[in-house]
């Protein structure tokens, strides 16, 4: 009887293990599993640190689902802009590893908020608040009071962007 009871317990433990999702699966489950960063145009894509003070910049995504389609929007943000007034927007389809980057972006000096919406999103959009300040770059400083938003960039694909 004792052998049968031990075998039954072992079978039950094995069945429970097979029914539970593995740590790897739970970590890579579809949905809100990635991060997006603001990167200075001179920063390499491998760096996963956010750079909230930039001049020319790009949006860099890591750890999302492969081939995930993303709609992004950059809005003006106080204290320098009108809250949620769109300054730029676009779309991107991430590569099979869930990584992607936009083309380089230029906006007038000011404070902005990025909204990153994607297929499989479970809650609010991912977002980042950042500053554009080109005064330190030695180039022409765009007007902070531009009346028209920058034109949306064309859709970008991470696989079409040179590394």
Cα–Cα distance between 121 and 70 in angstroms, integer? 10
What pLDDT sits at residue 125? Answer: 80
pLDDT number for residue 31: 67
Q: Would 35 be classed as within a structural domain? A: yes
Q: How many domains does the chain have?
A: 1
Distances (CA, A) of 152 to 22, 39, 102, 135, 146: 41, 18, 11, 23, 15
Does 19 reside within a domain?
A: no
The model's pLDDT over 14-50, given as tens digits with 9 standing for 90+, comes to 444 444 443 343 344 566 788 999 999 999 988 889 9
Domain membership of residue 26 (yes or no) is: no
Answer yes or no: is 16 within a domain: no
Query: Can you give the CATH number for the domain in which 58 is found?
Result: 2.60.40.1930
Most confident of 32-36, 64-68, 72-76, 149-153: 72-76
Q: Which two tokens stand for residue 124?
A: 């609010």
**Boundaries of domain holding 124:** 31-160
Give the CA radius of gyration of the chain: 22
Does the residue 143 lie in any domain? Answer: yes
pLDDT > 70? residue 81: yes
3-state secondary structure of 1: coil
- Whether 126 shows a pLDDT value over 50: the answer reads yes
Would the pLDDT of 10 be above 90? no
> Has residue 52 got a pLDDT over 80?
yes
pLDDT higher than threshold 80 for residue 117: yes
pLDDT value of position 95: 96
Euclidean distance between CA atoms 125 and 34, whole angstroms = 11
Report yes or no on 8 lying in a domain. Answer: no
Which pLDDT band holds residue 149 (cuts at 50, 70, 90)? very low
- Quote the mean pLDDT of the chain: 76
- Asked whether residue 5 is assigned to any structural domain, the reply reads no
What's the CA gap between 106 and 155, in Å, rounded? 16
What is the reported pTM? 0.66
Q: How far apart are CA 133 and CA 141, in angstroms?
A: 8
Residue 71's DSSP bridge partners are 91, 117
Residue 3 lies in a domain: no
Q: Which residue has the tokens 């920058």?
A: 150
Q: What is the largest CA-CA distance in the chain?
A: 86
């Amino acid at each position: 009887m004792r052998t049968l009871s031990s075998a039954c317990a072992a079978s039950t433990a094995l069945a429970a293990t097979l029914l539970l999702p593995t740590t790897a699966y739970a970590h890579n489950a579809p949905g809100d599993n990635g991060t997006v960063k603001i990167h200075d145009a001179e920063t390499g894509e491998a760096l996963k640190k956010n750079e909230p003070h930039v001049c020319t910049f790009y949006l860099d995504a890591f750890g999302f689902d492969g081939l995930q389609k993303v709609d992004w929007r950059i809005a003006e943000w106080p204290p320098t802009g009108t809250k949620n007034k769109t300054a730029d927007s676009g779309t991107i389809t991430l590569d099979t590893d869930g990584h992607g980057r936009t083309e380089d972006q230029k906006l007038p000096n000011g404070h902005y908020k990025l909204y990153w919406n994607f297929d499989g999103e479970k809650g609010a959009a991912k977002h980042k608040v950042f500053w554009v300040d080109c005064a330190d770059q030695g180039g022409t400083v765009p007007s902070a009071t531009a009346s028209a938003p920058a034109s949306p960039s064309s859709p970008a694909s991470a696989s079409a962007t040179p590394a």
